[in-house]
Structure 1
Amino acid sequence: MDDIKMLADSVRSKFETLHPLSNGCCIYRVPQGWRCLHPNDYTPKMVSIGPLHHGNEELKAMEEHKLRYLRCFLQRTNVSIEYFLTFIKVKEAELRNCYAETIAFNSDDFATMIFVDAIFLLEYFLRGFRRDFTTSDDCIYGKPRLIDQLIGDLWLLENQLPLFILNELFDLAKAATYGDYYEGLSLFRISRWFWGSGFPNFPIDKDLLDTKFSEAKHFLDLPRLCLQPPQSPAQIGFRGQKMPGAMELHQTGVKFNVGTSKNPFDITFDKGILKIPFVTIYDDTESFYRNVLAFERMHGYTRYLNDYIIIMSYLAHTPEDGKLLIQNGIVGLGNSERLSNFFLSLIKECPMGTRFGYTKLVEDLRSYCKSPWHSWKANLRQNYFNTPWASISVAGAVILLVLTLIQTACSVIGL
């Protein structure tokens, strides 16, 4: 019995080390089952931000450059390192609660890591906003120029810092500067250029950035908020139903137009016209999509991107489908086979839930395709009236047929 009691006490003692999960939890480690399929899409290649990849040997080269940025930042403010660290320590519990797992660093190491990484990001945005801040030893904006390689690391789910600490540290630094370096500036303003130059994966409405920035939990959360469509009634999923691809829709008379909506998720179908907002696919788009998908699922958000990828994978199911979407100016990509592979690769990580945002759209398209009248009109237009010469030939054949019928009728009457 003594052995059992000791064993029970050992189990109870583990309760005390459990990391409390709070409502502020917003930064997660990607589950191994997802990571093993595409590890490079979730792992930083140049810089670690936050605790989850801190100490990675492959990223240590950037640690020295973080200190260079920190030194330059401190030269513009009268706020001491001691005061910054004390401020972060006051926020330590709130910061730790933003992560969905226990952070093993002790209090001093945790505060130091947050301080160095947060100031690195602030200085990075300041130099992007004002290039005169760039120094001769800057390997991000200077030589070697690594800004393009670094940008992708800042969108990774595991490589985030809570936005509130960046905002508060910048405001703290502004309170006592040696000059007017930061007059009229805010975290939103100095980082705003990034959404245009560093974030081409989705066209974000710049007006939405103003209203959504204060709501964002971190940088990956901001584009998700801006891309969130207006709330619509929940729609039942369409399991077991076949969604036609772009070529099949084209053959039944559906016309493809570039949608005028600024939100790429706003796909509509009305009177035989399917409107899809323009989207460009770049080399790093797949990695960005995967991180947003992981955040949607782990944070319990409505799966807007998940459903968008499902509908687009149906529309671009084959290279011929992709070619049609490219020709109609809907997707900015030169390789139609790559387009179909792009969505087919992503859909493996997109479950069809009991609710699906495009159920009505799919039902309307299926109903349109079932109509023989639409197929007949499309066949006539595509095969017989697709060029002016073809139209003239068909018209001539019809006139000849009518004249032949008249001649035959006259001959019969004459008999």
Structure 2
Amino acid sequence: MEGVHEAPHYIENPKDPLQEELDNLSTLSPSRCIYRVPNRLRRVNEKAYTPQVVSIGPLHHGKEHLKAMEEHKKRYLRHFLSRTRERVSFSDYIQMIKDQEGRLRGSYAEPIEFGSDQFVRIVLVDAAFVIEFLLRCRDSHCEGDDYIFNNPMLRWDVRPDLGLLENQLPFFILQVLFNTLSSSAHPRPSLLEISYYFFVSQVVRKGKAEAFYEKYYTEVEVQHFVDLIRILYRPLKSKTRRELKTTAVPNAAELLQAGVKFTVGKGSNIFDIKFSDGILEIPTLIVADTTDLAIRNLLAFEQCHKRGEDCLTSYVFLMKRLAKTPKDVELLVEHGIIENWLGSTKKISTLLHDLGTGMILDHYCYAPLCENLNSYCRTRRHKWMANLRQNYFNTPWSIISVVAAVILLLLTFIQTVCTVISVA
């Protein structure tokens, strides 16, 4: 037909929109370590993952309830710049961060929507604020216009926000800026050391943290503050991991009835739980107001940043089984396993139960321990012995009464035998 022409073969067909989307997909960075908390966890306790006072990094930047702190963060930046103005200019800091922009963006598990200039400014303001805040906490010193430190309640409100998974900057960029600070006559502690002493109070366990500090200070690369707290919790030796069969284990009251004895673990790591010869050894866990927030963010990091370790998730699963009821909590408090700073045993039982909600456990670190406990409880002899101890030998007077009864029974038996012999 006249007027109808085929398109020349050399003209390519336009790309399908889906093909364009596929071509433009960003590459997942292997260095990602800062995540949005999954909804299955966030639904249980939204507040535990959301900054209440100050945003750090891009994920919560610009939120209405956090805008009041932006001016104070800039005051901290101004003071930070004054520490190095003779050697490092404002534009130098901007360039330092621009040089690291690709690595910074790659540290976040999701694409950052801010443009380059705004993203760099956010990182500079927030990184300077964090460094200044840590230094002022360490030195117990504040400037006359320091609204945060002149308001003790606000200072304590800032602290927990720095330990939230979604409220992080990569540690390496803090280190880059910290390295520019001038050294005084007295050597300044490293950024890692300052961070360590700031966050070690959030590690809810008994015992000395120095052993962890000495080991990890030199051997481990910290990714951000939540990772630092995770390192302080982490066991010195990797635990045996098995494919998950069951997490079932009797609660504390049932274990006691089966003859299991509880004792406080001597180690300084909460994961170092042992069972041998009927004795369950558990290091003391401090349960305070900050426990919920600290452990939830550590759990969220462990759930998102899967590297073959489920130590904390395994621990929470075990403890929520042991402390199933307020009565179980009372027993654990009585034996020094739990140090109760909340006051209510019911609150602790509920807290441990809620911490495990929404968690996915691939490898259970305490599988061998649970198998041994279950095997011990199935042995009737242990229950009989426990019943004797708890009902007949639980006080000195009851022991004396039982011994007296046995002696009386023996004497009666001997007398009867003698009577029979004499009659015969």
Quote how far apart the aligned CAs of 1:36 are. 2.5
Q: Which secondary structure state, in structure 2, belongs to the residue aligned with residue 351 of structure 1?
A: coil
Aligned to 1:154: 162
Aligned to 1:244: 250
Letter in 2 for 1:262: S
Counterpart Cα distance in 1 of 2:290 and 2:173: 27
Q: Which secondary structure state, in structure 1, belongs to the residue aligned with residue 177 of structure 2?
A: helix
Aligned to 1:261: 267
Could you report, residue by residue, the CA deviation over 1:248-274 in whole angstroms, capped at 9, with x for unpaired residues? Answer: 111121111110111101100011110
Unaligned runs of 5+ in 2: 1-6, 8-12
Aligned to 2:112: 103
Among 338, 350, 353, the alignment partner of 1:341 is: 350
Change (3 A) 1:31 1:200: closer
Among 323, 335, 348, the alignment partner of 2:330 is: 323
Q: Verify: 1:193 aligned to 2:201, yes or no.
A: no
Aligned to 2:211: 207
Aligned to 1:411: 419
Cα RMSD for the two superposed structures: 2.2
Aligned to 1:271: 277
Counterpart Cα distance in 2 of 1:375 and 1:389: 22
Q: Which secondary structure state, in structure 2, belongs to the residue aligned with residue 141 of structure 1?
A: coil
Aligned to 1:123: 132
Letter in 2 for 1:97: G
Matches within 5 A, 1:140-179: 140-174=148-182
Change (3 A) 1:181 1:100: farther
TM-score normalised to structure 1 length: 0.92
Aligned to 1:34: 41
Change (3 A) 1:116 1:38: same
Task: Count the aligned residue pairs.
Answer: 405
- Farther off after superposition, 39-48 or 210-219: 210-219
Q: Which secondary structure state, in structure 1, belongs to the residue aligned with residue 75 of structure 2?
A: helix
Among 264, 275, 281, the alignment partner of 2:287 is: 281
Letter in 1 for 2:99: V
Aligned partners of 2:260 and 2:278 also within 8 Å? yes
Quote how far apart the aligned CAs of 1:62 are. 1.0
Aligned partners of 1:264 and 1:276 also within 8 Å? yes
Unaligned runs of 5+ in 1: none
Counterpart Cα distance in 2 of 1:137 and 1:71: 12
Aligned partners of 1:369 and 1:375 also within 8 Å? yes
Quote how far apart the aligned CAs of 1:220 are. 0.3
Quote how far apart the aligned CAs of 1:88 are. 0.4
Aligned partners of 1:309 and 1:350 also within 8 Å? no
Q: Choose 1 or 2 for highest CA Rg.
A: 2
- Farther off after superposition, 385-394 or 116-125: 385-394
Counterpart Cα distance in 2 of 1:331 and 1:320: 13
Aligned to 1:80: 89
Quote how far apart the aligned CAs of 1:324 are. 0.5
Counterpart Cα distance in 2 of 1:244 and 1:401: 38
Counterpart Cα distance in 2 of 1:172 and 1:220: 24
Counterpart Cα distance in 1 of 2:258 and 2:59: 51
- Farther off after superposition, 380-389 or 70-79: 70-79
Counterpart Cα distance in 2 of 1:192 and 1:296: 20
Letter in 1 for 2:199: W
Q: Verify: 1:20 aligned to 2:27, yes or no.
A: yes
Aligned to 1:374: 382
Aligned partners of 1:264 and 1:279 also within 8 Å? yes
Among 147, 155, 163, the alignment partner of 1:139 is: 147
Q: Verify: 1:293 aligned to 2:302, yes or no.
A: no
Identical pairs, percent? 44
